[in-house]
Structure 1
Amino acid sequence: MFNRILVAVDGSRTSLKALDKAIELQKLIPAAEIFILCVYKHHSLFEASLSIGRPDDMDIPDKVLSQYAKDVVNHAKELAVEHGATKVRGFVKAGRPSKVIVRFAKEKEVDLIVVGTKGTNSDKDGMFLGSVSHRVASNAKCPVLVV
């Protein structure tokens, strides 16, 4: 049924709910593997140079965002193991989140993508789905569970 479950996390409450749902599914299908993916938006050096205020020790934005994404994935992996997940792998990628999630799912031959309804970038506009979950659900070639 679902042997490879991809969970997209961004540190938001809804992405952690999606992780919980993936763990529940893995408990029903012990052979299933959970892939935890955090995608950060790539920033070029040109974009960084446009900043009005530049501290002397300014890091390249990609470096900071990449580290944050790694921290999010590591935290999600720890939570997954604490809640009984067995086969868990973490990944960090740069790019447009919806495109990267769909491409990653195809490359890894994922059977199910689990995403939260809204992530850290969504505002309280009253819409049911955030833009990333909407695009993933619209473009993925496998089933998508929106939590």
Structure 2
Amino acid sequence: MFKKILVAVDGSKASLKALDKAIELQKLTDAEIHIICVYKHHSLFEASLSIGRPSDIQIPDKALSDYAREVVNHAKEVAREHGATKVRGFVKSGRPSKVIVKFAEEKGADLIVVGTRGTHSDKDGMLLGSVSHRVASMAKCPTLVV
């Protein structure tokens, strides 16, 4: 059925629910799980637009990258604790929806699993342009929104 499942995590409860669903599916299909966390890259120009600027402008990419790595490592740990095997983690920068879809294509994922905001209805999600809705509309493989 599925050979490669890509699950996007950001540390939220919704993304951990998506991870749980990916683990369930892996147990049924013996698929490989790829966990990805995408952080938004900040340019030097964006960093310079801050109202309160320190004398030494630092781009927050390092902190964001470190946090994304922590999120992925935690997700891998959770997956293994719940009996998942064949789990790999990845950290990428860029616009999350585009990066997730492109990464899925590059890795040959046959399913993308993403969380949605639990407090918003479908209509609100589309109006807000949430990542899950954009991924589902752009992906070439099935997308499970949990």
What is the alpha-carbon distance in structure 2 between the residues aligned to residue 145 and residue 83 of structure 1? Answer: 20
Which whole-Å deviations, capped at 9, do the CAs of 1:44-72 have from their partners, x for residues lacking one? 01111121223467642111111111110
Q: Provide the residue aligned with 1:18 in structure 2.
A: 18
**Alignment check: 8 A CA contact 2:36 2:92 kept:** yes
Give the TM-score normalised by the residue count of structure 1: 0.89
Stretch moving more, 15-24 or 51-60: 51-60
**Alignment check: 8 A CA contact 2:18 2:115 kept:** yes
In structure 2, list runs of 5 or more residues that go unmatched.
Answer: none
Task: Confirm whether residue 27 of structure 1 aligns to residue 21 of structure 2.
Answer: no
Mapping of residues 101-116 of structure 1, within 5 Å: 101-116=100-115
Q: Which amino acid aligns with 2:134?
A: R
What is the alpha-carbon distance in structure 2 between the residues aligned to residue 40 and residue 8 of structure 1? Answer: 11
What is the alpha-carbon distance in structure 2 between the residues aligned to residue 51 and residue 67 of structure 1? Answer: 21
Q: Which amino acid aligns with 2:29?
A: I
How far is the alpha carbon of 1:118 from its aligned partner? 2.4
Q: Provide the residue aligned with 1:69 in structure 2.
A: 68
What is the alpha-carbon distance in structure 1 between the residues aligned to residue 78 and residue 57 of structure 2? Answer: 32
What is the alpha-carbon distance in structure 1 between the residues aligned to residue 72 and residue 58 of structure 2? Answer: 21
What is the alpha-carbon distance in structure 2 between the residues aligned to residue 38 and residue 118 of structure 1? Answer: 16
Q: Provide the residue aligned with 2:88 in structure 1.
A: 89
- Aligned-CA RMSD value: 1.7
What is the alpha-carbon distance in structure 1 between the residues aligned to residue 111 and residue 61 of structure 2? Answer: 29
Q: Provide the residue aligned with 2:121 in structure 1.
A: 127
What is the alpha-carbon distance in structure 1 between the residues aligned to residue 75 and residue 20 of structure 2? Answer: 10
**Alignment check: 8 A CA contact 2:41 2:61 kept:** yes
What is the alpha-carbon distance in structure 2 between the residues aligned to residue 2 and residue 49 of structure 1? Answer: 45
How far is the alpha carbon of 1:127 from its aligned partner? 3.0
In structure 1, list runs of 5 or more residues that go unmatched.
Answer: none
Three-state SS of the structure 2 residue aligned to 1:93 is strand
Q: How many residues align?
A: 141
Three-state SS of the structure 2 residue aligned to 1:5 is strand
How far is the alpha carbon of 1:93 from its aligned partner? 0.5
Question: Which stretches of structure 1, 4 residues or longer, exceed 3 Å deviation after superposition?
Answer: 54-59
Stretch moving more, 58-67 or 79-88: 58-67
How far is the alpha carbon of 1:131 from its aligned partner? 1.2
Higher helix share: 2
